[in-house]
Amino acid sequence: MSAACLKFQPIEKRVNMAEQREHWGSKLGFILTAAGSAIGLGTMWKLPYIMGQNGGGAFILLFLVFNFLVGIPLFMAELVLGRKSQRGAVGSFAQFTKEGSSWSIIGWMSVLASIIILGWYVVVAGWGFNYILIALSDSFHGKSVEEIGAAFDLFRKSGDLNILWQVLFLAANAAIVLGGLNKGIEYWSKIMTSSLFVVLLGLAAYSFTLDGFTKAVEYILYPDFSKLTPKAVLKALSLALFTLSLGYGVMITYGSYMQKSDDIPQTSIIVGVANFFASILIALMIFPMVFTYGFEPQEGEGLIFKTLPYVFEQVPGSIIVSVGFFTLLIFAAVTSSVSMIEVSVANFIDLKGWSRRKSVLVTCAIVFVVGLPTALSGSGAVFPHWEAIFGKDFLGTTDGLSDWLLSLGALFTCIFVGYVLDLDALKQAFTDGSKLQKLFGVWRFLIRYVAPAGIILVICQSARLFEML
């Protein structure tokens, strides 16, 4: 046995921890939980408007390619790391390296990134509650698109309302994560992700009956490559990583709850395909509505909070459609945010030996505080000059910061798995329980060369190295 391989032998204490660790209740349970983490605000909020701004079908095509060449291989790498170590993000890197090695910094970075992103994530997801209430009270009835847009701006200025929904959303998350892996996260993700697909199929079928459906299909199927700038290419890559929940330690943590008999390659491919399928369904649901009512796909960030609420008002059964849509948004967001909360909870449990209860409460308290500036930034109550100084509002800045951390976390994960881990042990970690063992060679190639190269390109773009393009 090679020396590096010996590193895979857990010390006694680690074995005890691994024994106590909960594992996924079923294969389907894990697939739905991982797919739930993947399908979130990135898929429902970011992807449609970014796709609209960047050439529609051409963008989706690239998004598909990156999903398969970079996203899914990295997804497998994170699961491999987590399952082999049976530890959270920080512990996973520490497990395979010498004491005090700087590799655990990568684990800490992912915890930090997930907290930063949760800060804005819970606020934006909370807006969904606001829009469900608006739909139920029918208060947009008969309003113009300008009035509906202005109502969103007014809502953003209302710090108290933003905090109210943020707290409510966070409380729902805490309740789920407190339930533990099987009775909390897995149980609720199974229910929410499967209902998400049902509602999504229902709404897409509804869009099928609208006049704009053919135009939307054409828009998606006949890509306009002239709109595909180099920046858009790189955006497709970073979005592929984001929507697969990579680079934040989530899949390392979820992988640590897998058993030797679980099939990592197969599960990863299923989740990757489900995530892509959901993205297409969301586009097929949103764009027919947008086209039918004379809007352009490039409506920008306000697409789902300004344009869509107006569109919903025009269609028959508007209350059902809009409540359905915003419930979908909340379900998608909850199953993603619980996965990020679990990253930090698992670390507190692993490293500090805290109870789940204490770990959840401390994590949620931190997320609440980190989210306050996003909740209040629209009102100008905090950082009134932020945008003038940093060029972006607070939400945009934190989102940008977490993009950086995501890219770096993803890159180092590729390097760690592709170059630092011992080959024999890695092969075993990948193939254990799998029917797709033959994929090992291709996967290793992708994780050593293709994925890091792609991620380095994204980092260069974030660093404005392609400004001349």
| Contacts to ligand PHE by CB under 6 A | 37-38, 40-43, 242-243, 245, 248, 250, 336, 339-340
Buried b (16+ CB within 10 A) or exposed e, 427-456: ebbbbbbbebeebbeebbebbbeebbebbe
Min. distance of Cβ 40 from ligand PHE in angstroms?
2
Q: How far apart are CA 311 and CA 333, in angstroms?
A: 22
**Closest CB to ligand PHE among 122 and 321?**
122
Q: What are phi and psi of 23, to 5 degrees?
A: -125, 160
Min. distance of Cβ 384 from ligand PHE in angstroms?
29
Min. distance of Cβ 241 from ligand PHE in angstroms?
8
**Closest CB to ligand PHE among 243 and 374?**
243
Q: How far apart are CA 172 and CA 125, in angstroms?
A: 11
User: 469 and 229 in contact (C-beta within 8 Å)?
Assistant: yes
Min. distance of Cβ 10 from ligand PHE in angstroms?
27
Min. distance of Cβ 428 from ligand PHE in angstroms?
27
C-alpha dist (Å) from residue 89 to 230, 350, 413: 33, 10, 10
**Closest CB to ligand PHE among 307 and 336?**
336
**Closest CB to ligand PHE among 151 and 459?**
459
Report CA dihedral (351, 353, 356, 360) to the nearest 10 degrees.
-50
Min. distance of Cβ 43 from ligand PHE in angstroms?
5
Min. distance of Cβ 19 from ligand PHE in angstroms?
27
Please report where in the chains the tokens 């489900």 appear, as a residue. Answer: 274
**Neighbouring residues of 326: CB distance < 8 A, sequence distance ≥ 6:** 128, 129, 131, 132, 135
The one-letter amino acid code at 200 reads L
**Closest CB to ligand PHE among 55 and 249?**
249
**Closest CB to ligand PHE among 67 and 243?**
243
The one-letter amino acid code at 8 reads F
Min. distance of Cβ 370 from ligand PHE in angstroms?
15
Query: Hey, what are 166's tokens?
Result: 């943020």
Min. distance of Cβ 315 from ligand PHE in angstroms?
26
Angle between helix axes 356-377 and 394-415 (nearest 10 degrees) is: 140
**Closest CB to ligand PHE among 42 and 418?**
42
Min. distance of Cβ 455 from ligand PHE in angstroms?
15
Of the candidates 209, 235, 192, 450, which has an alpha carbon nearest to the alpha carbon of residue 335?
A: 192
Min. distance of Cβ 192 from ligand PHE in angstroms?
14
**Closest CB to ligand PHE among 250 and 459?**
250
Report CA dihedral (161, 131, 120, 249) to the nearest 10 degrees.
140
Burial class (CB in 10 A: 0-12, 13-18, 19+), 351: middle
Query: Hey, what are 4's tokens?
Result: 């590096």
Q: How far apart are CA 312 and CA 320, in angstroms?
A: 9
User: 264 and 80 in contact (C-beta within 8 Å)?
Assistant: yes
Report CA dihedral (68, 69, 75, 79) to the nearest 10 degrees.
110
Of the candidates 243, 234, 297, 324, which has an alpha carbon nearest to the alpha carbon of residue 46?
A: 243
**Closest CB to ligand PHE among 38 and 447?**
38
**Closest CB to ligand PHE among 252 and 289?**
252
**Closest CB to ligand PHE among 250 and 264?**
250
Q: How far apart are CA 225 and CA 206, in angstroms?
A: 29
